[in-house]
Amino acid sequence: MKVVIVGTGYVGLVTGACLAEVGTEVVCADVDAAKIARLQNGILPIYEPGLQEIVMRNQQGARLSFTTDLAAALPKAEVVFIAVGTPPGEDGSADLKYVLQVASQIGQLMDHYLVVVTKSTVPVGTAARVNRAIKESLVARRLILDYDVASNPEFLKEGAAVNDFLKPDRIVVGVNTMRARQTLEQLYRPFLLNGHPILFMDIASAEMTKYAANAMLATRISYMNDIANLCGLAGADINQVRKGIGSDPRIGKHFLYPGIGYGGSCFPKDVKALIQTGREYGYQLRILDAVEAVNEDQKRLLFQKVLRHFDGDIRDKKFAVWGLSFKPNTDDMREAPSLVLINSLLSAGAIVSVYDPVAMEEALNYLGSNVTFADNMYSAAEDAAAVLLVTEWNTFRMPDWARLQGLMQSPLLFDGRNIYDDVQLVKQGFTYYGIGNAAATTVNVLVQ
Ligand code: UDX
């Protein structure tokens, strides 16, 4: 089977590479000529474990190719995925400009039956708009052609995208014809071998499933952050509470980690977009309003703790920030909580030195020359008044504490991800602040 994927961002590139990996002929199309030229030379626009190898292998095997020429890519294709960006508009709703442009273009260029699939995260009702855009183009060409639209949202996690795509928990497909269903079933058959289910449903439900899933996961995080803040105030330890509640299978132990707020390209955008969809239907999603508000406060929590520790004066003090990307195993800086923290520190007159094992180049675009980019985690901490752990990369998990103590002005640690053993650190002479654990610290702050 041949498929065309329009858009070589995170979702498009991973989808293309992984479909090629199981033997599908894939052409990835994008309007960004520079990006396509780099991809043709094996240079990827993103860091994602395992992706480089898959792209290279399938390019060499002639199953995967990259082009700016959609017209040349379409002949003989059976499926076209639309995987272009849906940036948030001013009101938080997903901007469908690019999705609909691609749909019109497909209508202008197609000459045989196609299943046109929206893969980008798009609000309920988008497939119907894609359908209209294709139809309008065909009408303008005075052409009657059979085609189907479908919705196939992507659930992959950054940093684990290849694995998530190759071994999906489930594949959700919204269709309204048997022909589209059979085509997509055939396309995904190689992924279903180990019992991973494919769930067919109507198109609107598939579109809604993606938002409902992300919004529920975001809700879990804000809920845990809220409870963690209360634990800190009330003398309880969120780490123990987390284990206590996570062993109830109805709750489950995954995705219960408090921290400095969720970031990335999905949760912040999708929660906002779903709230906006609610508004369009005259329905206020009150829980999600709260999820967002908690997250905004949580991104400022570490800074508030720092300020409180230094009685409000951090001018000219140096702070080491460990980790910049919104989570480990990615260089993605979109909506990264580290940016909120660093900008707050800088505004208060502090000096900031940062280290991240992968995201420094990407972070340069966001932070410029306002911070020092250190060679390693220890040089970042030289003469620092405190170390602030922001992203839980494995590199940061077991530092040489004695070495660190020798380098810093004073042994002070703010652990934004609760990855360190607070009791042991305090024994070692560190002052330790975590999220929602009163045990080792004297001060806990609640941000209002
Ligand atoms: C998410 C969804 O998991 C994925 O299914 C969807 O397709 C896209 O959005 P991603 O944004 O890559 O994926 O990251 P994820 O691992 O889900 O983490 C999102 C954010 O939540 C990160 O900022 C992370 O640090 C935070 N998080 C996650 C927590 O604070 N606590 C947790 O327990 C888990």
Q: Is 329 left (phi over 0), alpha (psi -120 to 50) or beta?
A: left
Same domain, 276 and 194: no
Amino acid 214 reads N
Indicate whether 440 belongs to any domain.
no
Indicate whether 294 belongs to any domain.
yes
126-140 vs 97-109: helix crossing angle, rounded to 10? 40
- For the CA of 225, the closest atom of ligand 1 is 30
pLDDT value of position 92? 86
CA angle 287, 234, 221 (to 5 degrees): 30
- For the CA of 417, the closest atom of ligand 1 is 30
pLDDT value of position 438? 64
262 C-alpha to ligand 1 centroid (Å): 7
**Looking at the 3D structure of the chain, how many domains does it have?**
2
Same domain, 371 and 413: yes
Same domain, 58 and 186: yes
> Could you please report the per-residue DSSP string of 90-142?
TTSPBP-HHHHHHHHHHHHH--S-EEEEE-S---TTHHHHHHHHHHHHHHHTT
Instruction: Give catalytic residues, as residue numbers.
Output: 266
CATH at residue 301: 3.40.50.720
Question: Which of 14, 51, 157 is the pocket-test mutation for ligand 1 (most atoms within 8 Å of CB)?
Answer: 157
pLDDT value of position 442? 40
pLDDT value of position 441? 46
382 C-alpha to ligand 1 centroid (Å): 32
> Per-residue pLDDT tens for 171-221?
999 999 999 999 999 999 999 987 889 999 999 999 999 999 999 999 999
Dist CA 96 CA 87 (whole Å): 8
Same domain, 193 and 221: no
CB-neighbour burial class of residue 95 (10 A; exposed 0-12, middle 13-18, buried 19+): middle
Q: The whole model's pTM is what?
A: 0.93
Dist CA 180 CA 135 (whole Å): 17
Structural domain span for residue 235: 216-433
Same domain, 193 and 262: no
Q: What one-character DSSP code corresponds to residue 255?
A: T
pLDDT value of position 195? 83
Residues with CB under 6 A from ligand 1: 154-158, 214, 217, 221, 255-257, 259, 262-264, 266-267, 326-327
Tokens encoding 37: 């030229």
Same domain, 405 and 343: yes
Same domain, 196 and 220: no
pLDDT value of position 89? 87
Measure CA 332 to chain center: 8
Per-residue pLDDT of the chain (448 residues; tens, 9 = 90+): 999 999 999 999 999 999 999 999 999 999 999 999 999 999 999 999 999 999 999 999 999 999 999 999 999 999 999 999 999 888 988 899 999 999 999 999 999 999 999 999 999 999 999 999 999 999 999 999 999 999 999 999 999 999 999 999 999 999 999 999 999 999 999 999 878 899 999 999 999 999 999 999 999 999 999 999 999 999 999 999 999 999 999 999 999 999 999 999 899 999 999 999 999 999 999 999 999 999 999 999 999 999 999 999 999 999 999 999 999 999 999 999 999 999 999 999 999 999 999 999 999 999 999 999 999 999 999 999 999 999 999 999 999 999 999 999 999 999 999 999 999 999 999 999 999 986 444 444 444 3
Dist CA 412 CA 395 (whole Å): 19
157 C-alpha to ligand 1 centroid (Å): 7
- For the CA of 257, the closest atom of ligand 1 is 33
